[in-house]
Amino acid sequence: MPVWVRDYSWEQTAEAVYLAVPVRAARHGSVFCTEQYLKVNCPPFLFEAILYAPIDDVHSTAKIENDSVFFTLYKKEVGMWESLLMENGDKEKMQRIREDAVRKAQEDAKAEAEAKATQKRERSKFALEATMKLEEMERKRIEERKEEERKKATEEIEKWKEQNEKQKKTQETYQSHHERRKPLEKNRQIKSSSKGKSKPSTMTGARSSRNMFSEKLKEESLPAPRPTGSIEISFTPRVFPTALRESRIPEEEEWLCKQAEAHRMINADIAEIEDLKEEEKNPDWLKEKGNKMFETGNYLAAVNAYNLALRINNKIPTLYLNRAACHLRLRNLHKAIEDSSKALDLLTPPVPENAKARVKAHVRRGTAFCELELYAEGLQDYVAALKIEPTNKNVEEDAEKIRRIIQGNE
């Protein structure tokens, strides 16, 4: 049986009512308030009041202190009340006020849940549009890069064709000139032999010069010979220890395909990093860039900067901490928990130099747990942060709020 609280006290001004309800060391309870109905349930104590006039339930406040609940109720209409409670009211009217209060509370809770769901959908839509925009920009960049490479290759081929045409024309010109000179040389030889005079040295020099020129043309028209060398061939050993006749071929092929895909992704990441500018290969520069994006509210761009920095160096705990903060703002709560946990793994051994970073990791992971309504897990992280930094008042207050939420749920 509940114990009805009768020994309450109240005061009023023209604008507000100040009410104190003793609950005598009740450990947990709930407060329910609408425009004209007020209820405090702290088992075994129960207080219920149908107010004299409507109040502003949105701006009114309640505070639990010294085994009492203190209310500050702001009146909708300025004036003095004759009493706190509605007196001489029939039972049907009072019951109707109770039912209306409960119904209004349910409608408000439903509207709030719908508003949260709508907000969540809008955030998801925004994140998807931003991701699609980034992917489109990346696709255009790749297409432009391909077009540049294609133009460059086409220009090189054209230059090579022009050079070959020039060499071919030069060789044809020389051959035609040589063919025209053959009859003249033959006639000269006949005349010189008939006269008994010959000039072997001059003719030999001309032939040798022509031969050298033709050899030079051949060398220029033909590519240089390939350098000699040796190729070492090593056969890949069998991955699985069992003999082929005893092995499970489909499972082995699936495993090998997964390994090849993993190697392909790693090589793609390496190629992407090599295409970056020199300053973009510095994880500290990328971290500062992500911090500036975070300060301006561009959380998706900050996440991209931290992602690239972690590809270059995944042993920096600050990058995981900063990315966890971005995921909290983007409502990617599971990713925030994962990044905070990775940061804590890297912040070992625990020393005074990394105490602040460990506090941030625990608080951000605890916040993500609480947003997922996993209050017990969130409280554990806040308690761990308090053990590292006991004088942090903000963390202490947040931990106390989580305790009250857990007690209310129980």
**Cα–Cα distance, 239 to 101 (Å, whole number):** 71
Cis peptide before 349 (omega within 30 of 0): yes
**Cα–Cα distance, 181 to 189 (Å, whole number):** 12
pLDDT in tens, the chain (410 residues): 567 777 888 888 888 988 888 877 555 677 878 887 888 877 777 788 888 888 888 888 888 877 788 889 898 888 888 888 876 656 677 777 777 777 877 787 788 888 888 888 888 888 888 888 888 888 888 989 889 888 888 888 888 888 888 888 888 787 776 676 666 666 666 656 555 544 444 455 545 555 555 555 555 555 666 777 788 887 666 555 555 555 566 777 777 777 777 666 655 555 555 555 666 667 888 889 899 999 998 999 899 888 888 888 888 999 999 999 999 999 999 999 999 999 999 988 888 889 999 999 999 999 999 998 888 899 999 999 999 999 999 999 999 999 998 887 64
HSE, side-chain direction, 13 A CA sphere, residue 272: 14
Overall pTM > 0.85: no
* Residue-wise DSSP of 259-283: HHHHHHHHHHHHHHHHTS-TGGG-H
Cis peptide before 350 (omega within 30 of 0): no
Burial class from Cβ neighbours inside 10 Å (0-12, 13-18, 19+) for residue 20 reads middle
CB 80 within 8 A of CB 14: yes
